[in-house]
Amino acid sequence: MDDLSRDTSYMASTIEPACTDPIDRAVMTNRWRWLAYLHWSFDPAAVQALLPEGIQVDTFEGRAWVGLIPFRMEVALPGLPPVPYLTRFPETNVRTYVIGPDGKPGVWFFSLEAARLPAVAVARTWFGLPYRWASMRIEREDRRVRYISARREGLRAISDVEVEVGDLIPAAAMSDLDHFLVSRWRLYSAGRRGLVVGRIDHPPWALREADLVDLRQDLLEAAGLPRPEGAPLVRYAAGVGVRIAPPARVKAR
């Protein structure tokens, strides 16, 4: 798997927009690694019904998209040394694509599973994100990657995803749909006093083709979504470094 862990083709393409609102002061940096992207299309009305007032589902060719995305999270806080057990762990999120009250495209998370309880508590409090503590592991062998997760609190939900990683997609060959799904520079969440926006900044993604080997999951259904129909669109990414701005109240346009 070494060659799949060091993709450096982060050149911008003619399609993917660069971050138009770069971050001056990051309060946290992440490294998101070994990501599997599984995406299904949905009736926009089914997704909109789960979103709060002020958040509008974003669509591609008339369809909403929901992603199941397992990966390895590596967290760094400015001025603090890394603590490997606490700052490196598997995570799996279920997300959709939205337009916020500020008119900007972003991501809405229905759930985020994480293997470290302190990280879950901090993210819930700081960003208002719906994190859940889970037992998780990632297994990697040659071009196969398997992500296993079982929620340890609240409504039981599991995810067991195995993918086989293929060739790197040249930046200029990435589809409009690929860019729609990954070129997102904001996340929105429900804070204690209203909607919150979190801005992020990172290099463009270097995506790979990937095939789904096996899948068992009910995280989408646990989030209130209909059971997905058909095979998902599957991609893989070795990872990017991410800079994160302080959360802020959303200002409507």
In this predicted structure, which of 6-15, 92-101, 120-129, 199-208 has the lowest mean pLDDT? 6-15
Note whether residue 148 is domain-resident.
yes
| Distance separating alpha carbons of residues 81 and 243, to the nearest angstrom | 17
pTM, full prediction: 0.90
Say if 226 falls within a structural domain: yes
The domain of 177 spans 2-13+33-249
| Residue 118 confidence class, pLDDT cut points 50, 70, 90 | confident
Q: Confirm whether 170 is domain-assigned.
A: yes
Residue 179 domain flag: yes
CATH number at residue 190: 2.40.400.10
Res 66 pLDDT > 70: yes
Q: What is the mean pLDDT of the chain?
A: 88
At 9, the pLDDT band (50, 70, 90 cuts) reads: very low
Q: Could you tell me if residue 98 is inside a domain?
A: yes
Residue 132's DSSP bridge partners are 113
Specify if 18 maps to a domain: no
Helix H, strand E, coil C: the string for the chain is CHHHHCCCCCCCCCCCCCCCCCCCCCCEEEEEEEEEEEEEEECHHHHHCCCCCCCEECCECCEEEEEEEEEEEEEECCCCCCCHHHHEEEEEEEEEEEECCCCCEEEEEEEEEECCHHHHHHHHHHHCCCEEEEEEEEEEECCEEEEEEEECCCCCCEEEEEEEEEEECCHHHCCHHHHHHHCCCEEEEEECCEEEEEEEECCCCCEEEEEEEEEEECHHHHCCCCCCCCCCEEEEEEEEEEEECCCEECCCC
Q: Does residue 24 lie in a domain region?
A: no
Pull the structure tokens for residue 228.
């997905």
Predicted local distance difference test score (pLDDT) of residue 80: 62
Query: Looking at the 3D structure of the chain, how many domains does it have?
Result: 1
Residue 128, domain member (yes or no): yes
Per-residue pLDDT of 37-62, as tens digits, reads 999 999 999 999 999 999 999 999 99
